[in-house]
Amino acid sequence: MSLALMSLILLGGLILLLAIGVEIAPAMGLVAAFGMIVFVGHPLDYFARAAFEIMNNFTFTAIPLFVFMGAIFSNTGIIGNLFRGAEKIFGNLPGSMASSVIVANAIFGAISGSSLAAVATFGKICFPEMEKSGYDVKLSLGAIAISGTLSVLIPPSVILIVYAGWQDVSVARLFAGGIVPGIILASLFVLTITIRVMLNRKLAPPVASASFGERLTAIIDLLPFLFIIFLVLGTIFSGIMTPTESAALGAFLSLVMSIIYRRLTWKDLVNSAWTAVGITSMIAFVLFTARLLGQVFQFIGLTEAFAVFMTNLPLSKYAILTVICVMYLVLGCFFDALSMLVLTLPFVAPIINELGFDKIWFGVFYVVLAEIGLVTPPYGLNLFVLNGVVPQYEITTIFMGTLPLLIPTLILVILVVLFPDLVLWLPGIIY
Amino acid sequence: MKRLSQILDKAADICGHIGSGLVPIMVVMVAVEVFMRYVLKNPPMVADEFSAYMLVAVSYLGLAFTWRRGGHVRITLLVGRLPVKFAGWLRLVVLIIIFIFMIALTHSAFSMVVYAYEINLRSDTWLTFPLIWPQLTVFIGFLMLTLILPTDIVKVYRKIRAGENVEDRPK
């Protein structure tokens, strides 16, 4: 059977299964099973071994631990202190509450690797306060939805851990690569909000500046969070601990902190562990079926043929990169970041290698692109999660609020392409 | 049927709870390893291996539990726009397809466990830990998901008969 026909059957089958609503992991598994039996002639007995082997991996152990750590902070409501602390520090800026959501989320991003947890938690804590203070609904919801995306870029990031395991690159270097773009993006979000409020004063109430004493207290309130971030990331970057060990340390400290704040209940602890199990199970199912599907694509020669086709196009490397960008922006409207990554990586990784782009750079670049997918309909997960928190507002209202804040993300995409050192500088210094 | 469904749901919950119980244990185990390495200078050197086995257990014991909570991602862009009855029948077909796939996966996991038992398969680390135990969690996880799928199929069928929207997932 020709490669074209085999590819058509496999890709067509996958699209069909996804379209009729089969869960992404079983859809990939079904196509992989079909390909394995019909095209590869491999017995299905191999499937369970692949499932075991892919998760029997110390690097991936960091995933439930970082998710657990973030869930402890969000379930106990401790991160409300982040928002209130940032609000006092940035109180002089026009639209300070919206900017505080961004800053608080950036800090939370350095604690948690999950965008959805960030959106759900900040939606619950911040939106009522912003609404009560007279902030424009779209501005408030937009700031909450978009700032959640910082959690996937600023380390620790679950997606970056998966990418590292998949591409066999250093998690620590990837984490270091995400820091500068994360800070730039958070700054661009704050700048955009400030400019918008300055141009249209109706978007936010007049600023109520905090006294020096209040700001000092706010900084002191933020110190425990900064200490944990410093310890978790510091031990990774200094090479003292592996990301998994740092994740365990961070999770342990989050428990200690929530006990000190007297916020930890048995229910919070159980819910946090459930969150970790839910996300880890979902990731495991997607990872192992995607790995098998990738192997089928590789075996029939599709990935190699696609890479050869793309690199032989009469286009410059940046034009090909633009094609890949557009592909991710379109796919991001339909897929979550993880599924999109593992589905496309077997095809994209050889092209990226062939074109000479750095693997660390591409990992961070992918995450920036995937962030856009988190807030674009019809499948922007952050929009759905926030809609679940504030069901009185339509998804379109939330999306209209995030739309102006997509401009900074697109600016970052361009900056990262023009200046790769924004990503590679810090890993280069540390390692 | 309702009683059976409740028992299976309970079993899926128990598996999920076992998985969630392992998460804090992983935290403590790795934290203790770090403490013993840097403070007592005497690391037990088991955390890497055991935490990876626990990850396997957390991942697969939680499969059915996560399924019950709608945690496995799917695209509903098209099916959400279909007429309720047609979407119901389509979901029924989808669940049957997934059920068949899960039977194959469970069989594959069973073969893996039997093989590990027969040859007394052990890890190639200094612990030489019997791999049947972590592999058993893969089998149990797949089996649980396989077992709860027929109850979902029945629930969806009943909803179709009652003219209800099946996209309100069975809890």
Query: What pLDDT does residue B171 have?
Result: 38
CA distance A264 to A69: 13
> Does the predicted interface ipTM exceed a cut of 0.90?
yes
Interface with chain B: mutation pick from A30, A114, A277, highest number of B CBs within 10 Å:
A277
3-state secondary structure of B104: helix
A195 vs A95, A129, A200, A271, A411, CA distance in Å?
9, 22, 9, 40, 16
- A45 closest CB neighbour out of B91, B108, B138: B108
Residues in chain B within 8 Å Cβ distance of A49: 108, 112
Contacts of B28 (CB under 8 A, 6+ apart): A252
Amino acid symbol at A408 = P
Q: Any residues with CB less than 8 A from the CB of A252 and at least 6 apart, and which?
A: B27, B28, B31
B contacts of A234 (beta carbons < 8 Å): none
Q: How confident is the model at residue A420 (pLDDT cuts 50, 70, 90)?
A: very high
Q: Please state, in angstroms and as integers, the Cα–Cα distance from residue A194 to each residue in A100, A191, A197, A209, A414, following that order.
A: 11, 5, 5, 15, 22
Task: Kindly list the residues from chain A whose CB atom is less than 8 angstroms away from the CB atom of residue B74.
Answer: 18, 21-24
> In this predicted model, what pLDDT tens digit does every residue of A182-223 receive, in sequence order?
999 999 999 999 999 999 989 999 877 778 888 888 888 888
Q: Please write the tens of the pLDDT for every residue from A215-274.
A: 888 888 888 889 999 999 999 998 889 999 999 999 999 999 999 999 999 999 999 999
Across the strands, what pairs with B130?
B122
- Give A274's contacts (C-beta < 8 A, 6+ positions apart): B16, B20, B65
Look up the pTM and report it.
0.90
* pLDDT value at residue B70: 85
Q: Determine contact, residues B71/B108, Cβ cutoff 8 Å.
A: no
**CB pair distance less than 8 Å for A45 and B19:** no
Could you give the CA distance from residue B139 to residue A240 in angstroms, rounded to a whole number?
36
Tell me the C-alpha distance between A163 and A154, whole Å. Answer: 14
pLDDT of residue B168: 63
* Min Cα–Cα distance to chain A from B85, Å: 14
Half-sphere exposure of B96 (CA within 13 A, CB side): 9
Contact A24 B75 (CB under 8 A): yes
Question: How many beta carbons lie within 10 A of that of residue A342, not counting itself?
Answer: 25
Separation CA A30–CA A365 (nearest Å): 30
Q: Give the A window 320-359 contacts with B, CB below 8 Å.
A: 334-336, 339
- Name the packing angle between helices B2-38 and B47-61 (round to 10°): 160
A57 in contact with B, Cβ within 8 Å? yes
CA distance B55 to chain A (A): 6
**Does any CB of chain B come closer than 8 Å to the CB of residue A30?**
yes
Which of A57, A249, A286 minimises the CB distance to B31? A249
φ, ψ for residue A146, nearest 5 deg: -75, -35
pLDDT at A391 over 50: yes
Please report which confidence band the pLDDT of residue A401 belongs to, taking 50, 70 and 90 as the band edges: very high
**Token pair for A314:** 């009469």
Mean pLDDT computed over every residue of chain A = 91
Could you read off the pLDDT tens digit of each residue along chain B, which spans 171 residues? 788 889 999 999 999 999 999 999 999 999 898 888 888 888 877 888 999 999 999 999 999 999 998 888 888 778 888 899 999 999 999 999 999 999 999 999 999 999 999 999 999 888 899 999 999 999 999 999 999 999 999 999 999 999 888 876 543
| Cα–Cα distance, A349 to A407 (Å, whole number) | 27
Provide the terminal-to-terminal Cα distance of chain A, rounded to the nearest Å.
48
Query: Among A72, A348, A49, which Cα is nearest to A228's?
Result: A72
Closest residue to A252, CB basis, from B27, B90, B142? B27
Q: Which amino acid is at A209?
A: S
Q: What are phi and psi of A279, to 5 degrees?
A: -70, -40
Q: Does A402 touch chain B (CB under 8 A)?
A: no
List b or e across B22-50, with b for residues whose CB sees 16 or more CB atoms inside 10 angstroms. Answer: bbbebbebbbbbbeebeeeeeeeeebbbb
Stretch A135-140: mean pLDDT: 95
B117: which 2 tokens?
A: 């038992």
Q: Answer whether A288's CB lies under 8 Å from A55's CB.
A: yes
Nearest CA to CA, how far is A171 from chain B (Å)? 16
Q: Which residues 274-313 on chain A approach chain B with CB closer than 8 angstroms?
A: 274, 276-286
CA distances from A317 to A340, A351, B169 (A): 22, 10, 46
Which residue did the predictor score with more confidence, B41 or A307?
A307
Q: Are B24 and A24 in contact (CB under 8 A)?
A: no
Query: Is the pLDDT at A330 greater than 60, yes or no?
Result: yes
pLDDT digits over A9-55, tens only?
Answer: 999 999 999 999 999 999 999 999 999 999 988 888 889 999 999 99
CA-based nearest residue in chain B for residue A240: B38
